[in-house]
Structure 1
Amino acid sequence: MSEQPPASTYKKLIPLQLAAIIFLTVSGGPYGLEPLLSFAGTHGALLLLIITPIVWDIPTILTVLELNSMMPVTGGYYQWVKRALGLRFAFYEGWWTWLYTFVDLAIYPVLFISYASFFFPGIEAYKIPVCLVIIWSSVGLNILGIVPVGKTSLILGALVLIPFVILFGVAISGFSGDFSLPSPSLQGLSFNSIGMALYTVMWNFLGWDNTTTYAEEVDKPIRTYIKSASIAFLLIFVVYFLAIVTAQQSGVDYATLNDEGFPVLGSIYGGYWLGALLSLGGMASALGLFSAVLLSVSRVPQVMSDDDLLHKKLHTLHPKYKTPYVSIIVCACIVSLMILWTFEELLIIDVTLYGAGLFLEFVTLIVLRIKAPEEHRPFKIPLNITGLCIMSLLPVTVYCIALAAAFSESGGTIVPALFALGTLLTAELVWQFIQWEKQYTARKTKY
C-alpha cells in the first residue's frame, strides 16, 4: 500500500481564492438585501447600511483576525473558545454555530428559486426537488476539496459582480438631473421595522469567523486572512451601497423590489436582458454561498468529534480527497429538512443563533488578553482590556435591539425568535446528555 502524502503537500488557498470564498461566505453580492428598503424606507436604508457594519462587522473582523493570528488552526472559533473558556463553552460555540449554519444554508436554495422564477415563473411548485439538487451538487463539490471550492468561488463571484457593474454603469450613464442622497432618518419607522431592517443588514454582513475553520488549508494563513478579509469587506460595502443608491434613484416601488428582487432594477434601467443577467447573478450567488458556507461548517463537527463531543465517524476523511466527507453529508441531510421555512423566518433564526456564538468569541478575545498577554499575536487590536470591552458592546447592543424588536409586535417575527431562543437552550441539554453518556460508559467499562 502506498503511503499517503502529508497534509502539507496538498494544495492550499491563496489570497485571491480566499477573498472570493470570504466574499461568498459573507455576502454573495447584494442579493438578499432587497427587503432593507421596505423595512427602513428611503431615509433609513442608507443610514442603517452605514452604521450597522461599523458597529457589527468591524469589531467582529478585528476579533477574528487577532484570534486567528494566535491560532490559525482547523476548527477556528471552536478551538479559540475551548482554549479560553474550556470544553463546555467550546461545545456551546460549536453547537450554536452548527445549528445557525443549517438555517443559513437553507436560505440559499430558497433564494435560488426566487431568482430562477424570472425565467421559470412556475418553478416555486418544484421548490423542494430543485433545492435538493442544489444541496447535493454542492456536497459533491465540497468532497472534491477546498481548492475546487475556491476556484469555483472565483467564477461564481465574477458572475455575481459583473451584472451589478453593468447595472451601475447603465444607471449612471442614463442619469440626468440633480443627484442627491436622501437625508438619514429613522423617524416614522416602527420598532419592529427597524429591527427587521437590522436583521437584514446583519445577515448580509455576517460569517467572517466561518472562514477560519479551515485555516490550516490556507497558504500563509495569517497574512492571507488579513489581506483577503480587507479586500472582501471593502468590496461588499461598496457594492451594497451602490445597489441601494441605484434602487433609490430608480423610483422602483419598494414592495415590488422586495417581491421580485434586483432583476426588476435591471428591467427598469436596461430592459429584459439586464434583468435576466441580474437573475443569473442571483442564482450564481445562491450556489456560491451554499458551497462556501458548507465548506466552513463541515470542519466544525470534525474537530468536535476529536473531543468526543460528536460521533467519531464525523471525522472520517475521504481516502482520496482528504475532506471530512461524512460531516459534509450529515450537514447536507439536516439542511435538506430546513428548506420549508420562509426567508424572513430563516433570517431571524439565523442572526439570533449566530449572535450568541459571536458573543462567546468576544469573551474569548478578552479572556485570552488576560490569560496570555505576552503571547505572540501577528495581528493585535490596538486596544487595552477596557477598550476591547467597549468595542465588544457595540455588536452586542445591535444584536439585543434587533432581538427585542422581533418581540415588540405580535405577528410573524415572534415565532421564529422564540424558536431561535429555544434552540440556543438545547446546547446545555445536549451537553448534559453527553456527560451522562460518558459517565454511563465509564461505569459500564469499570464493571
Structure 2
Amino acid sequence: MGLHNEHEPPSPKRATATANNNVRSLSTLPLIFLIFYEVSGGPYGVEDSVQAAGPLLALVGFLVFPLIWSVHEALITAEMGTMFPEDGGYVVWVSSAFGTFWGFQQGWMKWLSGVIDNTLYPVLFLDYLQRGNPVFADGYPRVLFLLALTVAAVALTYMNFRGLTIVGWVAVLLGVFSLIPFIIMGFISIPKIEPARWLVVDLHVVDWNSYLNSLFWNLNYWDSISTLAGEVNNPKKTLPKALLYALILVVSGYFFPLLAGTGAVPLHREVRDQWTDGYFSDVAKIIGGVWLRWWIQAGAGMSNMGLFVTEMSSDSFQLLGMAERGMIPEFFAKRSRYGTPSIGILFSASGFILLKWLSSEEITAARNFLYGFGMILEFIAFVRLRMKYPTASRPYKIPVGTVGSILLCVPPTILIFVVLALSSLKVMIISVIAIIMGLVLQPSLKFVEKKRWIKFSTKAHLPDLLNAHENSESLVY
C-alpha cells in the first residue's frame, strides 16, 4: 500500500478527504433493509432446517445461532466498519492487519462466495413458484421462466448501475411487501396452533450437515455491508444503529413464521419430508387459503430480487474498494455518472452462469466453505488490530479488552470448523481449488502490474494503518 512512509502517521486532513470524495447517500432506514437483504430476505429458504432437524431444533437454532454467530459478526462489523468507513470493507481490515497479499485473498474468497450466493436466488424463487404451479418443474415452461429470470437479472443489474440510493429504497419496499404475508399468516394461525408440535425432535434422524448449513447460510453475511461503508451517511452513528435494528428484524423474520408454520400444521413423517424450499407457500394455503399462498409466492419473488440486487451491490463496491487500494486493475475503480462501480457490477452479475452444474445444496455448502475461511481471516485481523493499534480511532468500540476480543471470536470460529468438517468431498475439492486460484492470482496480478500491461493505482487519500506508528489515534474520517 505504501501511502505513508514508516514514520508518518495518517494525516487527519487527508483522511477526512475520504469522506468528502464521494457523496455519502445511505441513511439509516435503507441501510437497515440493505443489511436485512445481505443476511436474510425473510423466511424464504429456512424450511430445510425443519426437514433436517424437526421443529424444536429449527426453532432453537434460529434463537441460539444468532447469539453465537450473528451478534459476534455484527459487533465486529460495527467496530471495524466505523474504523474504516470506506468501500472495500473487510478487505481493508485484513490488509491493514497483514498486508495486501492476505487482503487480496480475503477479497477473492468473499467476492467469490458472494457471486456463488447469487446463483441460489433464482433457484429458490423457482422452488416457491412450482409448489403451486407444477408446470414450471420441467420442459418449455421452465426454460421460458429461466429466460424471464435472466431478463429480470439484467433489469436488476441496471438498477444497481443507476445508484445505491435507489437500491436502498427499493430494498425497503421489497422487504415490506415480502414480510407482510407472514405477519398476516401469524395472526391467522393462532387458533390452529398446538404448542406440542414445537417440541417434536428425533436426534437419531437429524441431518446435521444440512441443518448447520441452513442456519449458517441464513444467518451470516453481516460483514457484507462494510463494503458499502464509504457510501453511508455519518457511518460512525448510522452503521452500528442499522446493524442492531437489522439483527432484530432478521431474527424475528425467521423465528415467528417458523413458530406459526410448525405450530399450526401437523408434522407427520411424510409432511416433514415436504419441509424444503418453497414449503411455506403450502403452509400459507393450509392456514389462510390460496390467496395467501399466492401472496407468499409473490413475496418470494420480491425477496429474491432484493437479495440479488443487494448482493450485487456489496460485491461490486468491494471490487471498487480493492481497486482503490491498488489490489486489482484501476478500471474496477471507475464510477458511472451515478457514482456506481459499473465494471464491478458487470463482473458480479456474470458469475452466476458458472455454477449451474452444482445442486443448490452444493452451492450453499461451497459458499459457506469459502465464506468460513474469509471470516477466520477477519477474526484474526480484528484481534491483531486491537493488539497492534489499541489507541487508534474507533468511533464504535466493543466494550471488551484484548482478552475479551479473543473470546468474542472463539464461538463463531469453532462453528466455522464444524461446518467445514461436515462438508462433502466434492465441495471441499471445489473450494480448495478456488482458494488456490486466489493464491496464484495475486502474484500474477503483481507481475502484470510490474510489466505495466494493465494500469493499477492507489487513491492518495486512503489511510494506511499497516505502516503507521502507534500514534495512529489521530486517524479520523
| Change in 2 beyond 3 A, CA 1:186/1:211 | farther
Secondary structure, aligned partner of 1:329: helix
Match of 1:218 among 222, 232, 237: 232
| Residue in 1 that maps onto 2:309 | 291
Distance 1:418 1:184 in 2: 36
Please give the per-residue CA displacement for 1:75-114, whole angstroms capped at 9, x wherever unaligned: 1111111111110110011111111011011111111222
> Partners in 1 of 2:169 and 2:356 — Cα distance?
27
Alpha-carbon distance between aligned partners in 1 of 2:134 and 2:20, rounded to the nearest angstrom: 47
Contact kept? 1:115, 1:279, Cα under 8 Å: yes
Q: 2:91 aligns with which of 78, 82, 93?
A: 78
Partner residue, 2:195: 179
The secondary structure found in structure 1 opposite 2:355 is: coil
Aligned equivalents of 2:57, 2:157: Cα separation in 1: 39
Match among 100, 118, 123 for residue 105 of structure 1: 118
Alpha-carbon shift at residue 429 of structure 1 (Å): 1.4
Does the alignment pair 1:344 with 2:367? no
Q: Which residue of 2 aligns with 1:88?
A: 101
Percent identical pairs in the alignment equals 27
Distance in 2 separating the partners of 1:215 and 1:425: 29
CA distance in 2, matches of 1:87, 1:122: 51
Query: Which position in structure 2 is the counterpart of 1:426?
Result: 437
What does residue range 33-432 of structure 1 map to in structure 2 within 5 Å? 33-118=46-131, 120-124=133-137, 125-126=142-143, 128-172=146-190, 174-175=191-192, 179-180=195-196, 182-183=198-199, 187-189=203-205, 193-249=207-263, 250-252=265-267, 253-258=271-276, 260-318=278-336, 320-406=337-423, 413-432=424-443
Q: What is the aligned length?
A: 426
Unaligned runs of 5+ residues in structure 2 are 1-18, 454-477
Q: 1:134 to 1:401 in 2, by over 3 A?
A: same
Once the two structures are superposed, residues 37-63 of structure 1 have per-residue CA deviations (whole angstroms, 9 ceiling, x without a partner) of 111123322232222211111111111
Give the alignment's TM-score, normalised by structure 2: 0.84
TM-score, structure 1 normalization: 0.90
Cα distance between partner residues in 2 of 1:378 and 1:304: 23
Q: Contact 1:107/1:339 (CA < 8 Å) preserved in 2? A: no
1:349, 1:417 within 8 Å by CA — same for their partners in 2? Answer: yes
1:241, CA displacement in angstroms? 1.1
Q: Please say if residues 153 and 288 of structure 1, whose CA atoms lie closer than 8 Å, have aligned partners that are also in contact.
A: yes
Of the structure 1 ranges 258-267 and 144-153, higher mean CA displacement relative to structure 2 is found in: 258-267
Greater alpha carbon shift after TM alignment, 44-53 vs 260-269 = 44-53
Deviation of 1:219 after TM superposition, in Å, equals 1.1
Deviations 1:59-80 (Å, cap 9, x if unpaired)? 1111111111211111111111
Give, in angstroms, the shift of residue 154 of structure 1.
0.7
Indicate conservation of the 8 Å contact 2:366/2:431, yes or no: yes
More moved, 49-58 vs 226-235:
49-58
Counterpart amino acid of residue 77 in structure 2: V
Shift of 1:188: 1.4
Residues 203-243 of structure 1 show CA distances to partners (whole Å, capped at 9, x for unaligned) of: 10111111111212111112111111111111111121112
1:376, CA displacement in angstroms? Answer: 2.2
Q: Distance in 2 between matches of 1:397 and 1:121?
A: 41
User: Given that residues 45 and 278 in structure 2 are in contact (C-alpha distance below 8 angstroms), is that contact kept between their aligned partners in structure 1?
Assistant: no
CA displacement, residues 1-55 of structure 1 (integer Å, 9 cap, x when unaligned)? xxxxx96684611111110111111100011111001111233222322222111
1:317 CA displacement: 1.3
Structure 1's 371 and 283: CA in aligned 2 closer, same or farther, altered over 3 A? same
Which one-letter code corresponds to 1:297 in the other structure?
Answer: D
Contact kept, 8 Å, 1:97 with 1:353, in 2: the verdict is yes
- Distance, in Å, in 2 between the alignment partners of 1:90 and 1:184 is 45
Kindly provide the CA deviation profile for residues 265-294 of structure 1, in whole angstroms up to 9, marking residues without a partner as x: 101101111111111111111000001111
C-alpha deviations, 1:351-400, integer Å up to 9, x for none? 11111111111111111111110112221112222222222121111111
**Quick check: 1:46–1:184 contact (8 Å CA) kept in 2?**
no
Structure 1 Cα separation of the partners of residues 232 and 278 of structure 2:
38
Tell which deviates more after alignment, 424-433 or 395-404: 424-433
Q: CA deviation at 1:199?
A: 0.8
Match of 2:469?
A: none
CA contact (8 A) 1:257 1:264 kept: no
2:229 & 2:342 partners in 1: Cα distance? 18
Q: Which runs of 5+ in 1 are unaligned?
A: 1-5, 407-412, 443-447
After superposing the two structures, state which structure 1 stretch, 209-218 or 421-430, moved more.
421-430
Q: Quick one: structure 1 residues 255 and 183, their matched pair in 2 at CA, closer, same or farther if it must change by over 3 Å?
A: closer
1:409 alignment partner in structure 2: none
SS at match of 2:322: helix
